[in-house]
Amino acid sequence: MNVVIVDYQLSNIFSLVNALNFLQIRNKVSSNKIDIKSADALILPGVGSFPEAMGQLESLDLINAIKNFIKSGKPFIGICLGFQLLFSKSHEFKITKGLNIFDGEVKKFDEKNNKVPHIGWNNLELNNNLNKYQFKKKLNFENSYYFVHSYYVKPNDNKIILTFTDYEKTKFCSSILKENIFACQFHPEKSGLNGIKLIKNFLKYVK
Domain ranges of the chain: 2-206
pLDDT in tens, 113-166: 899 999 999 999 988 766 555 566 666 667 899 999 999 999 999 989 999 999
> Is 111 noted as a catalytic residue in this protein?
no
Beta-strand pair 2-6/26-30: parallel
Q: How far apart are CA 42 and CA 71, in angstroms?
A: 12
Q: How far apart are CA 62 and CA 109, in angstroms?
A: 29
> Is 80 noted as a catalytic residue in this protein?
yes
Q: What is the pTM of this model?
A: 0.94
Residues in the chain: 207
pLDDT in tens, 80-110: 999 999 999 999 999 999 999 999 999 999 9
pLDDT in tens, 21-55: 999 999 999 999 999 999 999 999 988 899 999 99
**DSSP state letter for 198:** H
Q: CA dist 137 to 5, 131, 143, 173, Å? A: 26, 9, 14, 18
Q: CA dist 79 to 131, 148, 174, 197, Å? A: 23, 11, 10, 15
Instruction: Name the CATH superfamily housing domain 2-206.
Output: Class I glutamine amidotransferase (GATase) domain (3.40.50.880)
Angle at 116 between CA 113 and CA 121, to 5 degrees: 100
Selected catalytic residue, list 92, 149, 184, 187: 187
Selected catalytic residue, list 92, 118, 184, 189: 189
Selected catalytic residue, list 80, 118, 149, 184: 80
